[in-house]
Amino acid sequence: MGSSHEITKLYEAKRFNSTIFDASNVAESQTLSLPYRLLKPARIEPNKLYPLVLFLHGAGERGTDNGKQLKYLPTWLASDENRRTYPCFVIAPQCPADQQWSSGALSDSTSQPLGEMTEPTRAVIALLDNLVGHNPIDPARIYLTGLSMGGYGSWDLAVRMPERFAALVPICGGGDEARARRLVGLPIWAWHGDEDQAVPVERSRRMIAAITAAGGSPRYSELKGVGHDSWTPAYTGPDSVLPWMFAQVKATPVAK
């Protein structure tokens, strides 16, 4: 994908370019207006539906500037090469500075019971519903992924509505292992560095073990010698998750 310097230059060049990412806000309540960016396929053909990637950023990209959340995957998917290879919609909402995609401490090494859905995540669902209803998006190819705080948020949202997504790619996050059974039928590929000092690697290990014990077949890549930044190899490395993710399609329910 290129050096970190090239990635930074690409991010800086594209992050406020409205011809690449549309910018807007979604109002979930009287107290929250969630900024988001939307990438559309470079060319939308008539009568064709496109996949959608919902990306949940990490804690460092929180705020109200409606730009920082484009770091990493949204910027990488906006490259000319990826737009040709993976024509898709990309939603990148931005969480407020004092809130999270999921409840609970991000550094705990043990599972936490699923609490009330956070207000930013409620806004994300409203945004998803609105965009799917007004764009040529294939409901059988909606992919959920996130990193760090967004990895937790991805596990959280997938447990609440596993039927909504064609694939889940949680990176260096953790979830409620007691609810793992709900994820048995969802294609999952989780990633984590074994030297992560921010989010304990045990969180991914335990989620994968719980889903497997419940009868699922999740994929898991634990990266030896890698710290918190497991998302760069996950999204851009030689064994990138992207080809696998975009190949996932939800089965069509059989009519009764």
Contact 150, 173 (CB under 8 A): yes
Task: Indicate the SS3 state at residue 255.
Answer: coil
The answer to the question of residue 256 being in a domain is no
Tell me whether residue 237 is in a domain. Answer: yes
The C-alpha angle with vertex 170 and arms to 62 and 115, in degrees rounded to 5, equals 70
226-241: pLDDT as tens digits: 999 999 999 999 999 9
Distance of alpha carbon 215 from alpha carbon 75, whole angstroms: 36
Domain encompassing residue 149:
4-247
**Which domain CATH number covers 47?**
3.40.50.1820
Residue 254 lies in a domain: no
Specify the number of domains making up the chain. 1
Which is higher by pLDDT, 107 or 146? 146
What pTM does this model have?
Answer: 0.91
Q: In angstroms, rounded to a whole number, what is the distance separating the alpha carbons of residues 152 and 111?
A: 11
Write the pLDDT tens digit of every residue in 138-148: 999 999 999 99
Cα-based angle 78, 82, 86 (whole degrees, multiple of 5)? 110
Cα angle at 191 between 172 and 249, to 5 degrees?
A: 120
Note whether residue 42 is domain-resident: yes
pLDDT value at residue 13 = 46
| Helices of type H across the chain | 4-14, 73-77, 80-85, 119-134, 149-160, 202-213, 231-236, 242-247
- The larger pLDDT score, comparing residue 162 to residue 18, is at 162
Q: In the Cβ-directed half-sphere of 62, how many Cα atoms lie within 13 Å?
A: 14
pLDDT score recorded for residue 253: 56
Three-state secondary structure call for residue 75: helix
Mean pLDDT over each residue of the chain, to the nearest integer: 90
- Residue 253 belongs to a domain: no
Q: Six-digit token pair at 168?
A: 């889940």
Interstrand relation of 219-223 and 189-193 (parallel, antiparallel or unpaired): parallel
pLDDT 10s digits, 153-195: 999 999 999 999 999 999 999 999 999 999 999 999 999 999 9
Q: Is 31 a domain residue? A: yes
Rounded CA-CA distance 92/146 in Å is 10
Q: Cβ contacts of residue 93 below 8 Å, gap of 6+?
A: 26, 34, 35, 36, 56, 69, 120, 123, 124, 127
Is 24 inside a domain boundary?
Answer: yes
For residue 22, give the amino acid letter. D
Q: Which residue has the higher pLDDT, 81 or 24?
A: 81
The pLDDT of residue 17 = 47
Q: Which residue has the higher pLDDT, 103 or 80?
A: 80
Average pLDDT over residues 23-51: 90
Helix 149-160 vs helix 119-134: angle between axes, to the nearest 10 degrees? 70
Cα–Cα distance between 50 and 76 in angstroms, integer?
A: 18
In-domain check, residue 203: yes
The neighbouring-strand residues paired with 38 are 22, 91
